Structure 1
C-alpha cells in the first residue's frame, strides 16, 4: 500500500467509513494475529489481543502522524497490546539459555536444516519459535518473516536500532540452540533410515 493509499484510507476511516476500516483490518489481521501468537503463545489470548489492537488502532487513528509507515504503527500498537496482556496475566514463558556457539555448530545446524523438506522446515521452525521468549519470537518474526528493517523494528519496540540488532543476534543463537536440540535426533534417524 502506497503512502497516498494509506492516507486516503486513514481519512476515510476518520470520516466514519467502516468499509475502509475493514480494508485496513483485512490487510493486517493475519500479521497482527501471528505476532500476538508469537508473544502470548496462546491462541485465545492472541485472538483477544488482535481484536483489542484493532479497537485501539481505530480509536487512535486520528492521532497517527505519519512519522512511520502505517504498518509499523499497527505493529507497534499490537506489540504494546501484547505487553499489556502479558503484564495483566503475568504469564511466564520458557527461557532458553545462550550456549556458546562455534562456527562449526552453526554449520551443523544449517546442514541439518538442508536434510529436512521445505514444509517440515517451516513446521519445525514454527515449533522452535514457540519455545522462544515472546520478545525473541516477535523480533525474529518481524525481521525474517515480515522483512522489516532494524530501523522499522526499533520504532515498533521503542529500542535503538543497534539494541534491536544485538537482540536479534541473541535470539538467533537461542533459536539455533533449540533447532540443534530438535534436529540432531531427526538427522540421526534420517541417517539410520538411509543406511538400512
Structure 2
C-alpha cells in the first residue's frame, strides 16, 4: 500500500498541484534515474529516460490505482521507457562499470569451490559481470538487476514486469546461469591465453 503521506501528495497532484507532484517525485527520482542509468549505460540517456518517465507519470497520474505501491508503478514506467528508447535508438544493453561494480553481488558468479583468494578477484569479476550483463536477454537482465542490485521482491518485479512470480524466478535463474557461464568462459579464455583471471 502507498504511504499516507504519498496518498495525500498523489491526490493533490491529481488536482493539478505541481508543488505536491514535485515533493512526491523527489522521493523516487534518484532511484528511477539509477535504474535508467544501469539499463541504458550512460548519463545522457538516463537523464532523458528519467525526464520522459516523469512526464508520463504526471500525465498518467489519474490512471494510478492508489491501492498499490506508487513506487512500483513509477519503476514500471521507468523500465518501459528505457526499453522504448533502446528500441528506437537500436542500442545494445550496455552497462557502464563506473560506480556499479561495487554494487554487483559477487555470489552471482562465485564458484562454490573457490578459495579465500577469490575475494581478491571481486573487482575484476564484477567488471566481467557488467560486460556479461550486456550479453544476456533483456528480460533476464532486468529481472537480475531488479532482484540482485535493487533488492525488489519477486512479487514487486512481477508487478513491474507484468508477469507471474514463477516467470520472474525463471528469468532470474536463467539470467544468473547465463552470467555464470559467460564469466567462467571468459576466465577460462584468459587462463588459456596466459592472462589474469
CA RMSD of aligned residues (A): 3.2
Aligned 8 A contact 1:112 1:183 in 2: no
The equivalent residue for 2:87 is: 87
Q: Which runs of 4+ in 1 moved over 3 A?
A: 108-113, 119-134, 178-186
The 5 Å alignment of 1:23-42 reads 23-42=23-42
The equivalent residue for 2:49 is: 49
Q: Aligned to 1:163, which of 160, 163, 167? A: 167
The equivalent residue for 1:75 is: 75
Gap runs ≥5 in structure 2: 95-109
The 5 Å alignment of 1:1-196 reads 3-93=3-93, 106-108=111-113, 113-116=118-121, 125-126=129-130, 128-181=132-185, 189=196
| Higher RCO, Cα 8 Å, sep 6+ | 1
> Aligned partners of 2:61 and 2:77: how far apart in 1?
11
Shift of residue 180, structure 1, vs aligned partner: 3.2
User: Structure 1 residues 43, 136: CA separation in 2 closer, same or farther (over 3 Å shift)?
Assistant: farther
> Aligned partners of 1:86 and 1:129: how far apart in 2?
15
Cα-to-partner distance string for 1:21-70 (whole Å, 9 max, x where unaligned):
22233222222222222332343222211110010001111221124211
Shift of residue 73, structure 1, vs aligned partner: 0.4
> Aligned partners of 2:36 and 2:53: how far apart in 1?
10
Q: Which moved more, 1:79-88 or 1:157-166?
A: 79-88
